[in-house]
Amino acid sequence: MSSSHERKKLYKRLLMGYLGVAILVLVALTFSLAQGAGWKPIIAGSPVYLTFFVAVTYHFIKDIRAEKRREGGEPAPPKSRGPWEDE
C-alpha cells in the first residue's frame, strides 16, 4: 500500500477518535441539561473526558511515529517484556 493511503487511513482514525470523544461529551451534556442539572455534571466529569482525549492523542502520536519508522525502513523497536515473563 502507498504511504499516502496509510496516512489517510490514520487521519480518518484520528478524526473518528476525536469525534467519539466529542459525542461522548455532547451526550452527557444533553442528558444533564434535559434533567435540569446544568453544567455541573459535565465539569465534574471533565477528568474522564480529558483522559479520553489524551488517550486518543497518545495513540495517534504512536501510530504516526510507527508510520514514519516504516517509511524510513527502520526496524521496529523490540517488544518490551513484563517482569512476570521468562527471558
For residues 4-26, give the mean pLDDT.
Answer: 92
What does the alpha-carbon distance between residue 16 and residue 84 come to, in Å, rounded to a whole number? 35
Residue 28 identity (one-letter amino acid): A
Q: What is the pLDDT of residue 41?
A: 85
**pLDDT tens track for 28-61:** 999 999 999 888 888 998 999 999 999 999 999 9
* Average pLDDT value over all residues in the chain: 87
Q: Are 42 and 29 in contact (CB under 8 A)?
A: yes
Helix H, strand E, coil C: the string for 10-61 is HHHHHHHHHHHHHHHHHHHHHHHHHCCCCCHHHHHCHHHHHHHHHHHHHHHH
- pLDDT for 74 equals 74
Torsion of CA 64, 67, 69, 72, to 10 degrees: -120
φ/ψ of 37, rounded to 5, equals: -85, -15
Residue 15 has pLDDT above 60, yes or no: yes
